[in-house]
A and B are shown apart, each in its own frame.
Chain A
Amino acid sequence: MSNTPIIEAIKLSKQFTKDGDFVLNSLSLSIPKNKFTAIIGYSGTGKSVFLRQVLGLDRATSGIVRVLGKELHNMEPAELNAFRKNLGVVFQDSALFDDQTVLENVCFPLKEHKRSMSEDKRKAIGSEKLKLSGLNEEHFNKFPEALSGGMKRRVALARALVLEPKILIYDEPTTGLDPVLKQKVDELILTTHKRRSSSTLVVTHDLPSALHFADHIVMLNAGAVLFEGSVSEFLKSSDNLVATFREQGLNKYGKN
């Protein structure tokens, strides 16, 4: 049981229109438990589309995706909603509710899933998660529009953590941030992973970051898995496309 993958895709295919291209093309992969996995690849290779399948936001044309051993699409709505507590998601643009304050945003999942919990208790948990994400109390009663991009991601992370999910998922966590903030958010992602010692999945096209924090790397290309393995295997891989992506990705940031 302990070796079952947290996320498993079997021959997953997705077409948006009947005779359109396959955005996911018979994609199979398995993401190991309690590891930090990065899904990388060029823009437009289907990373976000794959993530939507994992989150059950969209349905594949064919194939199976299992999360923690379950197929989301076969679940009853009530069961699915309860199951989703296992997934904490930080969306690319944070997706904070703009009519709620920072603290209300973070307490929202608790309010919905732990209805019997007292408001004080919720607020205490919310504040704790916000502080762990590096946000101090002066920001708690602000609305999201008054926050910088980096702060928003911190709030989104706190909100994703508040139900102690088994899997923490980030979609492009650092796109659109300046280099200094980017590094800070990267560090936060890594410390959060280490502290929780559970599974983390990051979807990104930022190779240096991915190599910095991941244990396991999955590279997608044209809707299929091009490479799957450890970081050292990735660095050694002699596949042409992998090598090209590796060089371009690393050189772009002047690192080696």
Chain B
Amino acid sequence: MSALFYFVFKMGVFFKFCKKSILNIFVKPFRLENYFEHFEFVANQSLSIILLTGIFTGMALAHQMYLGFIRFNAADLVGPLVAVGVARELGPVLTGLIVSARAGGAMAARLGSMRVTTQIDALEVMGVRPLHFLVSPRVLAGFLGLPILCAVFDLIAIMGAYVICIGLLSLDPAVFWQQIQNIFKMSDVYEGLFKSFIFGGTFSLICCYKGYFAKGGAKGVGDSTNLGIVYSMVTIIIMDFFLSNLIKLVR
């Protein structure tokens, strides 16, 4: 019973932290170079890993689908189905997981080490709100950076599928694009981008929270980084299921 109470209490603390961090995004002073720096870190510095994983995901998926669909003589459908699957599910979820590990881990570690070396206290006694200065720009970078990465991932995964279908499996390129145009809709992309917007906020809030309240020296920083990444990943996968259903309901 007390464990349940503790959990509810902690969730309350976490959601208060989320609310404050998000509201602080809109509070002056706006330190533009600070916002830019974090955005660059989340988005630009994840680009190469997203390109790499994106193209291989598209290729692997296309190949598997082809092996299945050829049995029904439906190999033409590989292109659009890769596109739909990547745009709605794999794009947002995989970018979410990859960027949680990469950028989220760095956020938790950085904030955690600032906490245990009293740099956060120092900021506060200087009259600079640490949440506003440290957390809000990171959360904003998460919210905005992930949809962009997801779009890149979608695009490059479809390219990967194209390379496999045309280059390896010698399907007709004109048919490939024609089928994509027939079946694949922009709303699939929007659905994925909306999800990745939510995931971007999720991982940055969780990782910042874990780092911001780290305690117990270097070990504490390690633990909070680790937990930040794990919680982010699990939350993203669980949320994905509920978001998909929610979106279906709303439509």
- Which residues in A have some Cβ–Cβ distance to B below 8 Å? 55-57, 77, 80-85, 87, 89, 91-93, 95-98, 108-109, 112-113, 115
State the CA gap A83–B127 with chains docked (Å). 8
CB distance from A216 to the nearest CB of B (A): 22
CB distance from B16 to the nearest CB of A (A): 15
Q: For B119, list chain A residues within 8 Å (CB).
A: 95-98
Whether the pair B127, A95 counts as a contact (CB closer than 8 A) is no
- B172: interface (CB < 8 Å): no
- B118: interface (CB < 8 Å): yes
Whether the pair B127, A112 counts as a contact (CB closer than 8 A) is yes
Interface residues of B in 112-171 (CB under 8 A from A): 114, 117-119, 121-122, 124-129
Whether the pair A81, B29 counts as a contact (CB closer than 8 A) is no
Whether the pair A57, B126 counts as a contact (CB closer than 8 A) is no
Taking a contact as CB atoms closer than 8 A, the residue among B118, B124, B126 that contacts A92 in the complex is: B118
Q: For A87, list chain B residues within 8 Å (CB).
A: 125
Whether the pair B29, A95 counts as a contact (CB closer than 8 A) is no
Taking a contact as CB atoms closer than 8 A, the residue among A80, A91, A92, A96 that contacts B127 in the complex is: A80
CB distance from B232 to the nearest CB of A (A): 23
Whether the pair A57, B125 counts as a contact (CB closer than 8 A) is yes
State the CA gap A84–B125 with chains docked (Å). 6
Nearest A residue to B128 via CB reads: A112
User: Which 5 A-B pairs give the minimum distances between C-beta atoms?
Assistant: A84-B127, A95-B122, A81-B127, A95-B118, A89-B125
Whether the pair A91, B122 counts as a contact (CB closer than 8 A) is yes
State the CA gap A115–B124 with chains docked (Å). 18
CB distance from B28 to the nearest CB of A (A): 10
State the CA gap A95–B150 with chains docked (Å). 38
Q: For B117, list chain A residues within 8 Å (CB).
A: 93, 95, 98
14 contacts between A and B (CB under 8 A): A57-B121, A57-B124, A57-B125, A84-B126, A89-B122, A92-B118, A93-B117, A95-B117, A96-B119, A97-B119, A97-B122, A98-B119, A109-B126, A112-B127
State the CA gap A251–B57 with chains docked (Å). 71
Q: For B29, list chain A residues within 8 Å (CB).
A: 115
Nearest B residue to A171 via CB reads: B118
Count of B interface residues, CB-CB < 8 Å:
13
Known: A82-B127, A92-B118, A95-B118. 17 other contacts (CB 8 A): A55-B125, A57-B121, A81-B128, A83-B127, A84-B127, A87-B125, A91-B121, A91-B122, A93-B118, A95-B117, A95-B121, A97-B114, A97-B119, A98-B119, A109-B126, A112-B126, A112-B128
State the CA gap A133–B129 with chains docked (Å). 27
State the CA gap A80–B124 with chains docked (Å). 10
Q: For A96, list chain B residues within 8 Å (CB).
A: 119
State the CA gap A82–B29 with chains docked (Å). 14
State the CA gap A57–B124 with chains docked (Å). 8
- Which residues in B have some Cβ–Cβ distance to A below 8 Å? 29, 114, 117-119, 121-122, 124-129
Q: For A108, list chain B residues within 8 Å (CB).
A: 126
State the CA gap A89–B126 with chains docked (Å). 8
User: Taking A92-B118, A95-B118, A97-B119 as contacts, is the C-beta distance between A77 and B125 under 8 angstroms?
Assistant: no
Q: For B114, list chain A residues within 8 Å (CB).
A: 97
Nearest B residue to A86 via CB reads: B127
Whether the pair A113, B121 counts as a contact (CB closer than 8 A) is no
Nearest B residue to A113 via CB reads: B127
- Which of B118, B121, B126, B128: most chain A Cβ within 10 A? B126
State the CA gap A55–B128 with chains docked (Å). 13
State the CA gap A81–B124 with chains docked (Å). 8
CB distance from A28 to the nearest CB of B (A): 23
Q: For B127, list chain A residues within 8 Å (CB).
A: 80-85, 109, 112-113
CB distance from B107 to the nearest CB of A (A): 13
Q: For B124, list chain A residues within 8 Å (CB).
A: 55-57
Q: For A91, list chain B residues within 8 Å (CB).
A: 118, 121-122
- Which of B121, B127, B129: most chain A Cβ within 10 A? B127
State the CA gap A115–B31 with chains docked (Å). 11
Q: For B126, list chain A residues within 8 Å (CB).
A: 84, 108-109, 112
Nearest B residue to A89 via CB reads: B125
CB distance from B138 to the nearest CB of A (A): 14
State the CA gap A80–B129 with chains docked (Å). 10
State the CA gap A84–B126 with chains docked (Å). 6
